[in-house]
């Protein structure tokens, strides 16, 4: 292998990992520097950047959801409110603990759950509310926090698609009891594969989460704790290692090394996504059948995607898929549809049927899920984004002309 060529490719001007990622990874596998604790460095840096007391690195955002719900004591008989428009992982986390996910409808303009939609779903069995900052837009959390405190309910913030968004000048993901972020390869910050991190300001919850996600090692604490002690101690046949039943959700050091390098320059990464969103926003200016996800005043959207609702089918009969095909044919990258509402996924429907649980319809979520178009924002060369946005602009103009005929 031509290592020099490979390194030059990684360090390319538009490379995804062209900062210190490679240097840190080499430190992990080099005998002379392999003892650098990049997991601890990542956790400490995250606490500093997000102004939280405790951070626990894990191997995915999904495992972070599971560990967090386990830490607050979710179990059989409990209900966990989750958004009706999101991926299935939030519901899965509750199901794996024996709890019932209860789906709340969303606002048609922001795509997010609201105080009103959550209030309708609260029962005496409700123990947690999971809030998802879909596509990078924070939830209007203040009224939900007041409601949760009144009802003694935990709030878990799923910020897998939002990194350093802002809500009324406060950092999104740090306002509930627990926040979870994803470092899956397409997210704002990438671990080059999978990865995640959990944050809380509760010492009690931090220790519970860390132990559950760290196989239950008894010497783990809210701030960390070693899993490997002096060799004389661990070689003792009477040494007892575990006091908690947990799972191995720990983040590998190589993933932590990549994440740390990305975290140190996260503002530049987020800024570029916001710039790309602005480019696409200009492309649909004055188009009344492509409606951008509404950003309320005082909210900072970090644009995991540039998301909008397509009303072309209802207004002039051009189907979502036809518009998609035209965009691709003209040279566009395509765009993603919204994930099927979790309560409509076969896995959830079959599980609810098995448990004899009723699934109520969510008219808003079900309607807008079919309309949403999500344009990628992770272009590292803004010129590429401008070319794709220009194609979209031309297609909008072409469609408007056809509509007039």
Decide if 51 contacts 171 (C-beta within 8 A).
Answer: yes
Are 82 and 94 in contact by the 8 Å Cβ rule? The answer is yes
| Angstrom distance (rounded) from CA 121 to CA 163 | 28
Chain-centroid distance of CA 11 in Å reads 27
Question: What is the distance of C-alpha 236 from the center of its chain?
Answer: 43
Measure the CA–CA gap between 239 and 225, rounded to whole angstroms.
16
Residue pair 144/155 in contact by the 8 Å Cβ criterion: yes
Number of other residues whose CB lies within 10 A of the CB of residue 20: 16
Residue 187 among the catalytic residues:
yes
Cβ-based burial of 342 (10 A; exposed 0-12, middle 13-18, buried ≥19): buried
List the catalytic residue out of 187, 211, 253, 388: 187
Residue 405's Cβ-count burial label (10 Å; 0-12, 13-18, 19+) is: exposed
Q: For residue 212, give both structure tokens.
A: 């559950």
- The answer to whether residues 217 and 56 touch, using CB atoms and an 8 Å cutoff, is no
Direct distance between the N- and C-terminal alpha carbons of the chain, in angstroms, rounded to an integer = 59
- Facing residues of 336 across strands? 374
Which residues are part of the catalytic machinery?
A: 187
């Amino acid at each position: 292998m031509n290592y020099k060529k490979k390194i030059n490719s990684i360090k390319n001007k538009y490379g995804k990992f062209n900062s210190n990622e490679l240097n840190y990874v080499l430190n992990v596998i080099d005998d002379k520097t392999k003892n650098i604790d990049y997991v601890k460095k990542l956790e400490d840096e995250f606490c500093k950047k997000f102004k939280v007391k405790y951070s626990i690195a894990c191997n995915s955002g999904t495992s972070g959801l599971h560990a967090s719900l386990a830490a607050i004591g979710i179990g059989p008989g409990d209900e966990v409110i989750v958004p009706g428009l999101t991926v299935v992982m939030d519901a899965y986390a509750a199901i794996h603990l024996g709890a019932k996910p209860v789906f709340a409808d969303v606002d048609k303009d922001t795509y997010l759950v609201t105080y009103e939609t959550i209030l309708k779903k609260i029962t005496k069995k409700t123990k947690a509310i999971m809030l998802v900052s879909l596509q990078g837009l924070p939830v209007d959390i203040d009224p939900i926090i007041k409601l949760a405190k009144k009802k003694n309910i935990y709030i878990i913030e799923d910020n897998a698609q939002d990194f350093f968004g802002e809500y009324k000048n406060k950092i999104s993901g740090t306002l509930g009891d627990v926040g979870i972020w994803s470092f899956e390869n397409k997210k704002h910050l990438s671990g080059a594969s999978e990865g995640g991190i959990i944050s809380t300001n509760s010492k009690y919850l931090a220790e519970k989460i860390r132990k559950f996600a760290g196989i239950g090692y008894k010497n783990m604490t809210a701030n960390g704790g070693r899993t490997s002690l002096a060799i004389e101690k661990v070689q003792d046949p009477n040494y007892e290692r575990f006091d908690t039943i947990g799972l191995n959700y720990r983040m590998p050091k190589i993933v932590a090394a990549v994440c740390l390098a990305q975290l140190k320059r996260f503002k530049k990464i987020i800024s570029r996504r916001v710039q790309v969103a602005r480019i696409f926003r200009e492309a649909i200016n004055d188009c009344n059948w492509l409606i951008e996800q509404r950003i309320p005043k005082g909210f900072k959207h970090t644009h995991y995607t540039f998301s909008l609702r397509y009303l072309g089918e209802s207004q002039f009969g051009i189907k979502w898929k036809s518009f998609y095909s035209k965009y691709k044919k003209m040279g566009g990258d395509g765009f993603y549809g919204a994930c099927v509402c979790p309560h409509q996924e076969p896995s959830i429907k079959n599980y609810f049927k098995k448990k004899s649980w009723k699934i109520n319809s969510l008219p808003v979520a079900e309607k807008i899920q079919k309309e949403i178009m999500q344009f990628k924002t992770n272009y590292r060369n803004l010129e590429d984004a401008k070319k794709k946005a220009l194609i979209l602009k031309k297609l909008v103009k072409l469609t408007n002309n056809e509509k007039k005929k």
